[in-house]
């Protein structure tokens, strides 16, 4: 593996690559407020063993990438998609397999709409289809207010942990770490016992390597996809796999079903007990699904 800072869309982004550069590339795009290191190296190694060159990166406002004053320089999902495309440019990659988790799934959908010629395949993990109002719906849910959108809001256990933090915000680093561990516990599915010690080590690393830990909250200010972007989804024609969990508390299963229905030709893999995380017991199954979808050796 090799770490590298790249220039992309006016940003400086931290990236890390695994495997041989000549192999078919996979770009891993993580979710809102999340650093690239949340893509597990054990999973990445399985993809490399399957014949891929894999890249993960920190979004702007996360990890070691550029920190933005959002009030002075607001950005959109489109900007985040351009950031991701710039990573491919920096590595000299003409086309790649895109794998996006949570908000990363929406970013990858938008990349596929804007530049289908650069997308070998699309995988949307624990996410939702591009649609208007998604940010507003979730904001209402996390404020404890009812929503009227067709797709279900986050599960009560997810809402409760965010409401608790809003009522009693962390006042120091240790409290911030404790809160993130509680969030991770709430996001975890039932497929495996929650490993608090491993989670705490990961969270501590996230805080240690962040240029500004508070800046990741800016992703919560990114506006919902536009009507035009949502409508364009029906014309998306790239090989698409949707991976979702039966126990996802952030995007309940109906979101995965909707993504598979709205993206033409998409295939849905619903994993029993998967939450809004990537747990070790499912690394093998997820890797096999990705290798099969990308045409690599399983």
Rama region for 64: left / alpha / beta (φ>0; ψ in -120 to 50; rest): alpha
Q: What are the backbone dihedrals phi and psi of residue 242, each rounded to the nearest 5 degrees, phi first?
A: -110, 120
CA distance 251 to 245: 9
Q: What are the backbone dihedrals phi and psi of residue 145, each rounded to the nearest 5 degrees, phi first?
A: -105, 150
Please indicate whether residue 248 is annotated as part of the active site: yes
CA distance 278 to 73: 32
Q: Which one is catalytic: 52, 276, 277, 293?
A: 276
CA distance 139 to 104: 18
Q: Which one is catalytic: 102, 121, 127, 215?
A: 102
CA distance 88 to 92: 6
Please indicate whether residue 102 is annotated as part of the active site: yes
CA distance 294 to 9: 27
Q: Which one is catalytic: 216, 248, 255, 293?
A: 248
> How many DSSP H helices and E strands does the chain contain?
10, 8
Query: Strand 240-245 vs strand 267-271: parallel, antiparallel, or unpaired?
Result: parallel
Which of the residues are catalytic? 102, 248, 276
């Amino acid at each position: 593996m090799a770490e590298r800072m790249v220039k992309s869309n006016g940003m400086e982004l931290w990236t890390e690559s695994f495997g041989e550069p000549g192999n078919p590339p996979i770009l891993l795009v993580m979710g809102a407020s999340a650093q690239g290191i949340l893509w597990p190296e054990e999973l990445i190694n399985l993809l490399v063993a399957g014949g891929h060159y894999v890249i993960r990166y920190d979004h702007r406002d996360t990890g070691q990438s550029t920190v933005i004053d959002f009030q002075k320089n607001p950005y959109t999902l489109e900007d985040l998609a351009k950031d991701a495309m710039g990573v491919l440019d920096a590595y000299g990659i003409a086309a790649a397999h895109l794998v996006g988790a949570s908000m990363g799934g929406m970013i990858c959908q938008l990349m596929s709409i804007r530049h289908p010629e650069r997308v070998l395949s699309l995988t949307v993990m624990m996410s939702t289809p591009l649609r208007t109002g998604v940010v507003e719906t979730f904001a209402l849910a996390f404020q404890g207010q009812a929503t009227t959108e067709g797709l279900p809001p986050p599960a009560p256990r997810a809402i409760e942990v965010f409401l608790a933090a809003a009522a009693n915000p962390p006042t120091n680093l240790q409290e911030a770490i404790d809160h993130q561990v509680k969030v991770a516990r709430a996001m975890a599915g039932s497929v495996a016992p929650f490993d608090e010690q491993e989670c705490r080590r990961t969270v501590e690393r996230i805080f240690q390597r962040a240029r500004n830990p508070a800046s990741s909250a800016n992703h919560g200010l990114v506006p919902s996809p536009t009507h035009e972007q949502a409508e364009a989804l029906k014309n998306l024609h790239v090989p698409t796999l949707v991976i979702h969990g039966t126990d996802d508390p952030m995007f309940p299963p109906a979101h995965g079903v909707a993504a598979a229905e709205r993206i033409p030709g998409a295939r849905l893999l619903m994993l029993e007990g998967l939450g809004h995380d990537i747990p070790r017991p499912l690394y093998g199954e997820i890797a096999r699904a990705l290798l099969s979808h990308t045409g690599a050796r399983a």
